[in-house]
Structure 1
Amino acid sequence: MSDPGEDQISGARVLESLLGALARWPDLGSRTRLDIEQWNNLTAHEVKAYQDKSIAAIRAVDDWRAVTDQIRELGRLRYEPAVPALIELWERCLVQPVTVAAAHALFGIGTAEARDALRHGIHDHDHLGRFMAVKVMFTDDGTAWDNLGHLFSGERLATTAGLAAASEALSFLTPRSFSASGPEWHAEGLRDLVSQDHRWLDLCVQLRDHEDLGWVAREVLTHADPAVTGPALDAARALRAAQTATPAGRELRPGELVARYLDGDHRGVWRDLGAVAHLDDVWRAEAEQVAALTMDRVRQNAANLTAALIARGWPVGLEQALPGPDADIEDRLRELEQITGSAVPPALAAFWRIVGTIDLVPRGTWDGPFPPDVPEHLAVADPLEVIDLDTAWSEVEDWVDESADLHPELAGPLAVVIAADYLHKANISGGGPYSVWLPHAGADPVVREEEHGLAFTDYLRRAFAAKGFLRLDDQEEWVAHGMTGDEVAELTGWLDGVEYQHLDF
């Protein structure tokens, strides 16, 4: 065991050395602490400027590694007089490895002042701030629920910042890693928290279908004791089955929506369909007819637009762009209905039946040059893609395999991939693919992971209105990352030359 007196002497020496090193640093400015809401409201130029300040700061100092080592040592020694200096570094320093080291050192020292400073990061846009705040709350005096239960109030979950904090808290009840000996938690006491405190169990069961928190709530339940979670999930499943389906809304006269659609009220009809969370037989029959009329117009738009793009030199072929529906689409749709226990939403089913695939991604340029006079930056402007169900089927099979051993209430939605994300379309490593979640009891599912959060029909509308490119509104971000005004003008001019007959749908 170390001598407390020697630790104090060592701590004083390390702190003196640290402060001396920091005094020799040039003026780096200071970091502006932003919460998630503030971060989301920044322009692309402001985001880049914020990031560039941090990059410039770490390049301006040569000894940041030695400084982080000294900070870690202060944490190991639990040298309390260092807390004010460490708080200043945690809250203001632009050199990111230093702020990380300061956060962990403050937690290690653990005074009330240090823990308060970390707790204030619960709404930080930066993940580390939220992580450290939750870590402090889970180790505060009292029960975990008393310390963190307020994060799950309805008022807080109605905000982006509140959702992020709640997700961070739930993630502490899932394994942080897996080893040969099994899952490992952030702290051993968290392993059985759901089993020991029914309030956490009830919360996760309640949140299992939540739009944003459902996935992490299901992860918590998946790794908790099945002897505890099983009966609770059985009861929740029985309650779901006993509840009547959400009423479709007003009474619908057969043929009413079809007539309005044929009269040109395309968007109004789809607005009415989108307002119905659960289609009854009458509404579904009407929705299927409207969807067929809609996707016939989508098919005509796709043919017209593809021909116009190819005529302007866009590097796709007609066979790639519009190969037509799968020969076995009806079999696939029936199988998908059996797997999910619900009919495929009419908008999506009609697209696969009538259009099949749209693929405007310039894959032929991935290993070669872009055509002359065609703006290459359009490759990252999210060219329209909707893949066929056959191509997406491997993901369906994976979901079936992965959910086979899970309680039915923990399987979660089946994410059917419909397109790569915009970066992968440009042959750049990117994020998760765009998908729709099934089962979906309405007419028109939301396209997930795509930044605009649109229903599938609106996703298609946006793409066709923008001549096949979903991210043309990101030009400010392109300029912030080096695209010149002349290049933007070239891109805009090229698109102005793409003329095609567009049918509203």
Structure 2
Amino acid sequence: MSSQPQWLSRYQNGQRDQVWHELRQLGNSVRDSEWAEEAQAVCDEMARRARHNIELIVERLTNEGYRFHTNDDAQTATMPHAPPTEQAAEHLQWLEERFGPVPMTLSSWVRIVGDVWLVGTHPEWPTSTASDPLVIEVEGSRYPGESIRDYLDDEFTQWQEDPEDAGLFVLPLAPDRLHKDNTSGGAPYGIVLPDGCVDGLFSGEGTTMPFVAYLNWVFSEGGFPWATGAEGEWRTKRRLAADLLPL
């Protein structure tokens, strides 16, 4: 392994797919290796790129008259991006103490990106559409005065009652596509835990994929990965996705 080029420099030079492949091959053994710090550095760079993309999407949507709001009948205006708070590192520690190891990519997200909520209404989409806007909420900073820990803890407690039938525990990070559209849907999207690997498994819409692969898919569609057939949707997505950074 010591003869391999450094992951971070290779990642920054465009060898992203190769680097992620090598890191995933190591499994959770990477945490106890001499390469743990560099592996985390790659994840931190990924998170910085993701935050850049999110801030750009939010700016573009705002300029286009997009209304960020809650996913209910009230459609209360809400904040689309909440950067990490001073308690982010402490919250990450709580997650690991309660649920076991979390993937390095999720750790980087909590510390660098923060919470994202792109649910809303675009003026070029005259009717409500289930376009599955990006939502990743781990710290819960969009809800002042409330603790997301109670919600996460309740989900874990319910799972512990019958883990064999429930399958793997999925830490909920977002409503599913239909719930985002204020329609009865399925289980929340989330990350499978515990997981001590570099990149975690994102679970949603009946499938799982690496977290970074999910994010790249979402950003390639400007933050709205599902096609709904709304008039002007593809033009809007193309504008939103222009020049976003690949992860």
Residue aligning to 1:445: 200
CA contact (8 A) 2:66 2:123 kept: no
Letter in 2 for 1:458: A
CA gap of 1:285–1:410, structure 2 versus 1, over 3 A, is farther
Which is helix-richer, 1 or 2?
1
SS in 2 for 1:441: coil
Q: Deviations over 1:375-426 (max 9, x none)?
A: 435x3010111012346523431255447788x9999643211111010001
Q: CA deviation at 1:341?
A: 3.7
Helix, strand or coil at the partner of 1:453? strand
Q: Which has the larger radius of gyration?
A: 1
Q: Are the counterparts in 1 of residues 222 and 238 from structure 2 also a CA contact under 8 Å?
A: no
Superposed CA deviations along residues 266-319 of structure 1, whole A, max 9, x for unmatched, are 222112222232233224322211000110111111111111122122212897
Aligned counterpart, 2:7? 257
Give the equivalent residue in structure 1 for 2:246: 504
Alignment of 1:112-127 (within 5 A): none
Q: Does structure 1 retain, via aligned residues, the 8 Å contact 2:100–2:195?
A: no
The structure in which a higher percent of residues are strand is 2
Corresponding letter in the other structure for 1:376: T
Name the structure, 1 or 2, with higher relative contact order (CA <8 Å, separation 6+).
2
Give deviations 1:340-369, integer Å, cap 9, x for gaps. 343x2100010011011111011xxxxxxx
3-state DSSP class of the match of 1:327? Answer: coil
Measured in 2, the distance between the counterparts of 1:470 and 1:339 equals: 32
1:313 & 1:305 partners in 2: Cα distance? 12
Aligned to 2:116: 358
Query: 1:305 pairs with 50, 57, 73, which one?
Result: 57
8 A Cα contact 1:423 1:429, kept in partner: yes
What SS class does the counterpart of residue 279 from structure 1 fall into?
Answer: helix
Residue number in structure 2 paired with 1:374: 125
C-alpha separation in 1, matches of 2:126 and 2:206: 23
Count of matched residue positions in the alignment of Structure 1 and Structure 2: 232
C-alpha distance 310-264 of structure 1, shift in aligned 2 (>3 A): same
CA RMSD of aligned residues (A): 3.0
Return the TM-score normalized by structure 2.
Answer: 0.81
Q: What's 1:396 paired with?
A: 152
Q: CA-to-partner distance for each residue in 1:87-141, whole Å, 9 max, x for gaps?
A: xxxxxxxxxxxxxxxxxxxxxxxxxxxxxxxxxxxxxxxxxxxxxxxxxxxxxxx
Runs of 4+ in 1 over 6 A off after TM superposition: 403-406, 408-412
> What code does the residue aligned with 1:285 have?
E
Over residues 307-340 of structure 1, what are the superposed CA-to-partner deviations in whole Å (9 max), with x where a residue is unaligned? 1122122212897111111331211211222223
1:331 maps to 90
Partner of 2:41: 289
What's the TM-score once normalised by structure 1's chain length? 0.42
After superposition, what is the alpha-carbon deviation per residue over 1:470-498, rounded to whole angstroms, capped at 9, x for unaligned? 212xx5xx6xxxxxxxx54x322333444
The percentage of aligned residue pairs carrying the same residue is 27
Does the residue aligned with 1:381 lie in a helix, a strand or coil? coil
Q: For the Cα contact (< 8 Å) 1:261–1:290, is it kept in 2?
A: yes
Select the residue among 379, 383, 408 that pairs with 2:133.
383
